[in-house]
Amino acid sequence: MRVLAAVLSVWAAGVAADHGTEEVMGDPNGANIAWAENFKAQIASCLNLGQQTNGGVAFVSVSFEMTPNARPAEYSIQLLNPTGRAGEAEGFEAARRAILRCGQPSYALPLDLFSQWRHVEISFPYFVPVSE
């Protein structure tokens, strides 16, 4: 099974996607796929990081399945390797909302390459709350 893995780097001001890394796991050539960058940008445009804090930025890794019509399967969205760190649950919920919001009605993905984007893993930033 191929896995599209991407790192989504987004800063609150302007919600702009950074050039993270993406690769199709199992692809021996590590092909640079333009649609993967576009997919990442689509999700980034829907991500709301909330209020910036002095606690810094951390990342949550999320995996989900896509349907053949380029929509995320809501039931499949899950947090990978939870740490229990402050703000992690809120970061996951923000990521989940972004995935679902931008997936309606569907993502602009090449339908003929479904096997390459069927399973997705993405890391999303979130603000760590300041401990009191």
- In this prediction, residue 119 carries a pLDDT of 95
Per-residue pLDDT of the chain (132 residues; tens, 9 = 90+): 445 555 443 332 233 333 233 344 434 444 447 888 889 899 989 988 877 777 788 899 999 999 999 999 999 999 999 999 888 999 999 999 999 999 999 999 999 999 999 999 999 988 888 764
Crossing angle of the two packed helices 34-44 and 88-102, in degrees rounded to 10: 110
- Other CB atoms within 10 Å distance of the CB of residue 44: 21
What's the one-letter identity of residue 49?
L
Give the pTM: 0.75
Closest CA to 50 of 130, 104, 112, 128: 128
